[in-house]
Amino acid sequence: MTDKELKRLSRLELLEMLVSQIEENKDLQKKLDEANEKLRNQDIIKEKAGSIAEAALQLNEVFNAADKAAAQYLENIRRINENQEAACEKIIADAQNRAEEIIQQAEETARVREQQADEYCSKLSEEQEFAQVIEETLVEDEESEEVGADASIASEEEREEDIFQSGYAGASAAD
């Protein structure tokens, strides 16, 4: 199995492969133990080998097979470990990227809301100034009304309308 194929496998598939390799290793170990037992048994040596040299060759083959199985097992473990490390690094990188996106969105939202709050405070301040001008004008009108009680109602309404329009025009121009 190539490295590309191993990288495409899920964690579960990799673990299944690992379990399979462990079972295969156990089977080979069992076969090795059985072979060692047979070698210890004098009857097997007499049946299979007419000489000590032939028995040694059979024993060498068993040990070679065990060495190959162990090497293959270790190589598979190394590949699985590398694949898991790469997957973990990708997950961490993705999480960091997402966190940066969230921070940028939060900063942008905060900036927009701060700007909106500044605009709202500015409008309130302008409205307060306008209300104060109207109040001062009304107080002045009341004072002048007390002094000249015969002042015409129409001229008073015209003055209030002029003040209102000049204050409103100033507030609109500030927007």
Q: Tell me, yes or no, whether 50 and 111 share the same domain.
A: yes
Q: Tell me, yes or no, whether 129 and 158 share the same domain.
A: yes
Q: Tell me, yes or no, whether 80 and 12 share the same domain.
A: yes
Q: Tell me, yes or no, whether 50 and 78 share the same domain.
A: yes
What is the domain range of residue 152?
Answer: 117-174
Q: pLDDT (tens digit, 9 = 90+) per residue, 127-146? A: 888 888 888 888 877 777 66
Q: Tell me, yes or no, whether 82 and 131 share the same domain.
A: no
Rg value, the chain, Cα? 47
Q: Tell me, yes or no, whether 65 and 54 share the same domain.
A: yes
- HEC states along 67-115? HHHHHHHHHHHHHHHHHHHHHHHHHHHHHHHHHHHHHHHHHHHHHHHHH
pTM strictly above 0.85: no
Q: pLDDT (tens digit, 9 = 90+) per residue, 75-102? A: 988 998 888 888 889 999 999 999 999 9
User: How many angstroms separate the Cα of 2 from the Cα of each of 7, 16, 61?
Assistant: 9, 17, 28
Domain count, the chain: 2
Q: Tell me, yes or no, whether 47 and 72 share the same domain.
A: yes
